[in-house]
Amino acid sequence: MKYRVVGWTWFEDPQFPCSEIRSTAEWSAIVDEIRKHKYLFTGMQHQEWDGCTPVLNDGKKRLCSHREWGALMADAYGDTDRMAYSYYAFGYFDKEDANIPEESFLQDFIPEEIENEHFEVEVGPEVFARSERKKIIFMNDLDALRYLGRGDTLTLTCGDRRASYLVEDLGRWKYTRRRDLAYTYELETPYKLAIKRKKLPRAEQK
């Protein structure tokens, strides 16, 4: 889904409707903007300081709890430790350490309708086989799928085989190997994707 950050405002700015972060695509858009500009501030600063609340291209500002913003900032800085969020959640970075966006947005910006996209990735035989049998696909958190979201289409390829699906829902969590997992193969990335899918009719296969 084609989300991007178009500006920054303050947490209670009445000019923009508010929303939670509801998808990995929205999350990734904010993470990418933080990485691009090396922004650094805490969840408390997100809620209390001017210019620390992102506005996405749907015209809505995204509001986070202290802990959620801490987790988002930790993700942006590649810190995957279990308690990493706490470093970025509470307290304040001082002026020498913090990097705060300027409070800005496009004055003539018109909210956009967020378009669905088509994604295609190569997967291993175990992931491909599960995608054909099960409604939920567990797979690596691939860079190519960072903006995958509900309503997008996903084509998986494995050698000369391919199958296309409608994404009905999507979750992203830290990957922990457990004996009671619903799948038998191991993943390689710090996070895993769980994709609820619907097989597209043959005529709509990509």
Tens of pLDDT, residue by residue over 156-170, are 999 999 999 999 999
Per-residue confidence band for 81, with pLDDT thresholds at 50, 70 and 90: confident
Q: Is the pTM of this model over 0.85?
A: yes
Cα gap 74→96, rounded to integer Å: 19
pLDDT of residue 180 exceeding 70: no
- Identify which has the larger pLDDT, 32 or 173: 32
E strand spans, 1-63: 5-9, 18-19, 53-56, 61-62
- pLDDT reported for residue 102: 80
Amino acid at 181: L
Instruction: Return mean pLDDT, the chain.
Output: 92
Cβ atoms 162, 156 nearer than 8 A? yes
Cβ atoms 136, 194 nearer than 8 A? yes
Q: Which of 56, 59, 62, 55 is nearest to 111 (CA)?
A: 59
Cα gap 198→172, rounded to integer Å: 18
Amino acid at 173: W
Cα gap 94→113, rounded to integer Å: 38
Which residues have C-beta within 8 Å of that of residue 24, sequence separation ≥ 6?
146, 147, 148, 149, 170, 171, 172, 193
H or E element in which residue 125 lies:
helix 125-133
Token output for 155: 């084509």
pLDDT digits over 136-146, tens only?
999 999 999 99
- pLDDT reported for residue 183: 84
Residue 194: strand pairing partners: 138, 171
- pLDDT reported for residue 12: 95
- pLDDT reported for residue 90: 95
**Cβ atoms < 10 Å from Cβ of 173:** 10
- pLDDT reported for residue 200: 81
**Total number of residues shown for the chain:** 206
Per-residue confidence band for 203, with pLDDT thresholds at 50, 70 and 90: low
pLDDT of residue 178 exceeding 80: no
